């Protein structure tokens, strides 16, 4: 369900200072919610993602027979279906969430019954052939609508496979692993770029055995998942907006504690360091195999330098690229982004929208099929930003607005709630004006 279209004015800031603890990671929350709903027993999660995307996952799992309760202290309690879902007469609405749609497809393809998956306008444009192909190789009966949602699944027993993902995608990898979990044999997924490994870590936490090599993961079928209790680490992709905001100001000071620092997600810290920001990581600990810690950031006294994000790095930073591109004009030497064609098939065409909105703020930018060149040393002015209903575009340009001359109007600001409903309040809390 969408809230009303909302506009937000972002005023320039003098500095970014403060300490925050962020809501739980979206990727981990999707997986914990989905696996708990499929497992035996009752799981409890604190600091579960507050984003609408994870609510879509929980709603779908409820429609399939899981019991989900939100306790008075915010804990999410999920009682699982013990490996057998109940087909829902109604279509399963995945909202704006590609993770929900792609991962649930793998879970449902081997189950008995007919399932229809639908999504909002943006999700209904996004490519689904990438999951249909491996699932069909496993024997699944899954029909797309011209390569997109709605997806209709006629559940049927599947065979295990050995599959190499052509596009680096944790969602596709997870989809295959969840289907593989329900076959008789061993399923292996090979990937040329190691994508986020939350599914592997979560499956283990729920009691499944997996084998991992540098470039592959294998799962044996017919394993039973068991409920867990877990605290979800803060979302590093949400933190990215605040870390980049702090990097914009010399002598800023921002502390984020209980932040997820899984190495497959943490490339942003290296990029900010390359740009000259001072970053320290403290209090590292492991929780359900996920790394959690405190991050402190201070912007560089002489301003940010320049960097290039290409190859495997582009895939690992895919969700952080919009905000990095949005702060690039304020660096001295600019940021070059390539090998990021996937940005064109996210919640919006993020390459086109970043270029359009940077230009609206008076920046020079060159657009490529697979990236952007954003020169440094530029002065931006406030403008009207078209978020295209894409949460990460709305938040990225709210950060760029902090260093612009004059006010910026973010259109479609409500979209931030897809991953991060608290974003604007927290930004007000740390932006000194």
Min dist CB 319 to ligand S3P, Å, is 5
Supply the DSSP symbol for 419: T
CA separation for the pair 175, 113 (Å, rounded)? 18
Longest dimension (CA), the chain: 62
Q: Which residues inside 296-355 make contact with ligand S3P, applying CB under 6 A?
A: 318-319
Task: Spell out, one character per residue from 188 to 227, where the chain touches ligand S3P: x when CB under 6 A holds, - when not.
Answer: --------x-------------------------------
Quick one: 16 or 353, whose CB is closer to ligand S3P? 353
CA separation for the pair 72, 309 (Å, rounded)? 44
319 is catalytic: yes
Query: Which distant-in-sequence residues (6+ apart) come within 8 Å of 213 by Cβ?
Result: none
Of the candidate spans 1-9, 167-175, 248-256, 329-337, the one that interacts with ligand S3P by CB under 6 A turns out to be 167-175
Quick one: 171 or 218, whose CB is closer to ligand S3P? 171
Supply the DSSP symbol for 389: T
Dihedral angle computed from the Cα positions of residues 129, 387, 266 and 29, in that order, rounded to the nearest 10 degrees: -70
- How many residues sit close enough to ligand S3P to count as binding (CB under 6 A)? 9
Q: Which residue bears the tokens 């709605």?
A: 150
Min dist CB 326 to ligand S3P, Å, is 17
Query: Which distant-in-sequence residues (6+ apart) come within 8 Å of 328 by Cβ?
Result: 334, 335, 374, 375, 376
Quick one: 203 or 431, whose CB is closer to ligand S3P? 203
Q: How many residues does the chain have?
A: 433
- Interaction of residue 171 with ligand S3P, rule CB under 6 A: yes
CA separation for the pair 314, 430 (Å, rounded)? 29
Of the candidate spans 73-81, 166-174, 359-367, 425-433, the one that interacts with ligand S3P by CB under 6 A turns out to be 166-174
Q: Which residue bears the tokens 């997820």?
A: 260
3-state secondary structure of 40: strand
Quick one: 416 or 430, whose CB is closer to ligand S3P? 416
Q: Does residue 105 contact residue 130 with C-beta atoms inside 8 Å? A: no
Q: Which of 170, 232, 297, 363 binds ligand S3P (CB under 6 A)?
A: 170
Q: Which of 15, 17, 22, 27 binds ligand S3P (CB under 6 A)?
A: 27
Task: Spell out, one character per residue from 92 to 131, where the chain touches ligand S3P: x when CB under 6 A holds, - when not.
Answer: -------x--------------------------------
Interface residues with ligand S3P (CB under 6 A) are: 27, 30, 99, 169-171, 196, 318-319
Catalogue the active-site residues. Answer: 319
């Amino acid at each position: 369900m969408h809230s009303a279209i909302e506009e937000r004015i972002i005023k320039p800031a003098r500095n970014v200072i403060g300490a925050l603890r962020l809501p739980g990671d979206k990727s981990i929350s999707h997986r914990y919610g989905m696996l708990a709903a499929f497992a035996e027993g009752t799981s409890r999660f604190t600091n579960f993602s507050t984003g609408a995307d994870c609510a879509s996952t929980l709603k779908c799992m409820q429609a399939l027979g899981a019991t989900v309760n939100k306790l008075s202290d915010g804990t999410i309690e999920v009682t699982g279906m013990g490996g057998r879902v109940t087909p829902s007469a109604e279509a399963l609405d995945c909202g704006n969430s590609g993770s929900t749609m792609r991962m649930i497809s793998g879970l449902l393809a081997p189950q008995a019954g007919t399932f229809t998956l639908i999504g909002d306008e943006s999700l209904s444009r996004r490519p689904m052939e990438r999951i249909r192909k491996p699932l069909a190789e496993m024997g699944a009966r899954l029909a797309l609508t011209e390569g997109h949602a709605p997806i209709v699944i006629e559940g049927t027993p599947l065979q295990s496979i050995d599959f190499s993902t052509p596009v680096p995608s944790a969602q596709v990898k997870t989809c295959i692993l969840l289907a593989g979990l329900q076959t008789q044999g061993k399923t292996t997924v090979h990937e040329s770029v190691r994508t986020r490994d939350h599914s592997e870590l979560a499956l283990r936490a729920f009691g499944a055995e997996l084998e991992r090599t540098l470039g592959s993961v294998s799962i044996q079928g017919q394993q039973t998942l068991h409920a867990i209790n877990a605290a979800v680490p803060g979302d590093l992709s949400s933190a990215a907006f605040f870390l980049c905001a702090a990097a914009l100001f010399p002598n800023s000071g921002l502390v984020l504690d209980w932040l997820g620092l899984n190495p497959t997600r943490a490339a942003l810290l290296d990029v900010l360091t390359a740009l000259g920001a001072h970053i320290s990581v403290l209090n590292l600990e492991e929780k359900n195999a996920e790394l959690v810690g405190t991050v402190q950031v201070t912007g560089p006294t002489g301003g940010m330098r320049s960097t290039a994000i290409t190859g495997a790095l582009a895939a690992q930073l895919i969700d952080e690229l919009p905000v990095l591109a949005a702060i690039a004009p304020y660096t001295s030497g600019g940021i070059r982004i390539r090998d990021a064609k996937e940005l064109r098939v996210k919640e919006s065409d993020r390459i086109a929208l970043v270029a359009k909105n940077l230009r609206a703020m008076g920046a020079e930018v060159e657009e490529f099929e697979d990236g952007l060149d954003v020169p440094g040393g530029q002065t931006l002015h406030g403008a009207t930003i078209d978020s295209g209903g894409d949460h990460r575009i709305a938040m990225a340009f709210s950060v760029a607005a902090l260093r612009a001359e004059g006010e910026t109007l973010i259109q479609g600001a409500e979209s931030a709630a897809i991953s991060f409903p608290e974003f604007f309040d927290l930004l007000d809390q740390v932006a000194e004006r």
